[in-house]
Amino acid sequence: MPYRSTERTRQKKDAKRTAMMQTAVRVFAEKGYHAATIRDIVKEAGVAIGTFYFYFPDKETLFVHLYEETADFLLQTIYQAVQSRAALPQQLRAGLQAYVNIALYEPAVVQLLLVGGVGAVPSLAAKRTAFREQLTSIWQEALENALAAALIPPQNVRRAAELLAGGFDEVILNLLNHANPETEAGTAVPEMVQFALRAAAYVE
């Protein structure tokens, strides 16, 4: 009779894998890709080094996998928030609030995506480009809808979205480095919304 793992065994394995990956995000964010070691990850996660190699052949494979998963998480969260609103001001507010919430409660995720992936491993270059493209596209779609409704004047919405995406990221990164990020976040979202609406020349 062939061996079959029980549901409880699978759950334990999944729990170890999840704990290891959550820890890896923090370790990579704190130390950077090159300084972080597999031993750092397994020690902080409380798992054996063999557990690491059971799931991943090396550090680079883990890092790329983490980058993909965290990128999907961030993009989906922001996109759903934007799509839950109809008008540009509310779309910007909802999307940026979602972005800020992730930055406050999962700062390692944002650090990994905006900083940790830059020049870390060559195999990540295309994935990072795809992430930046998708993030920009979220803001571009919102601007395109406003343009179609004649709520903003004719303009290059692609270029505008690129400028907004870069500006938003800079504010988010500075927010994470602030002494009181929670307090600062209260004014950051409305200020970013006002800036974006002025930049796009939005008309009520």
pLDDT in tens, 84-114: 999 999 999 999 999 999 999 988 888 888 8
- What is the average pLDDT score of the chain? 89
Residues 94 and 30 in one domain: no
Instruction: Provide mean pLDDT across the span 39-54.
Output: 91
DSSP 113: I
Q: State the residue range of the domain holding 184.
A: 60-199
Residue 78 shares a structural domain with residue 149: yes
The helix/strand/coil state of 118 is coil
Structure tokens, 80: 């759903």
Provide the whole-model pTM: 0.86
pLDDT at 1 over 80: no
Provide the pLDDT for residue 11. 59
Q: Is residue 204 part of a domain?
A: no
Q: How far apart are CA 121 and CA 131, in angstroms?
A: 15
Number of residues that this document lists for the chain: 204
In the chain, the number of structural domains is: 2
Q: If phi over 0 gives left and psi between -120 and 50 gives alpha, with beta otherwise, what is residue 153? A: beta
Residue 181, pLDDT score: 85
Indicate whether 118 and 74 sit together in one domain.
yes
**Among 109, 84, 90, residue whose Cα is nearest residue 28:** 109
The residue among 26, 60, 58 whose CA lies nearest residue 41 is 26
**Whether 103 and 158 share a structural domain:** yes
- Are 129 and 116 in a shared domain? yes
On whether both 16 and 104 belong to a single domain, the answer is no
Q: Are residues 139 and 97 both part of a single domain?
A: yes
Within a domain: 171? yes
Of 56, 77, 95, the position where a domain reaches its end is 56
Tokens of 26: 């923090």
Please give the distance of CA 177 from its chain centroid, rounded to a whole number. 17
Q: How far apart are CA 86 and CA 66, in angstroms?
A: 32
29 within a domain of the structure (yes/no): yes
Q: Are residues 25 and 123 in the same domain?
A: no
CA gap 10, 112 in Å, rounded: 28
Mean pLDDT of 14-23: 84
Mark whether 72 and 164 lie in a shared domain: yes
Do 90 and 179 lie in one domain? The reply is yes
181 and 85 co-located in one domain: yes
Q: Does 62 have pLDDT greater than 80? A: yes
Could you tell me the CATH number of the domain that includes residue 40?
1.10.10.60
113 or 192, greater pLDDT: 192
Instruction: Place 178 in a pLDDT band, splitting at 50, 70 and 90.
Output: confident
In a domain, 31, yes or no: yes
Model confidence at 187, in pLDDT bands (50, 70, 90)?
A: very high
Residue 95 lies in a domain: yes
What average pLDDT does this structure show over 5-24?
72
With cut-offs at 50, 70 and 90, classify the pLDDT of residue 126.
Answer: confident
Which range has highest mean pLDDT (19-23, 121-125, 147-151)? 147-151
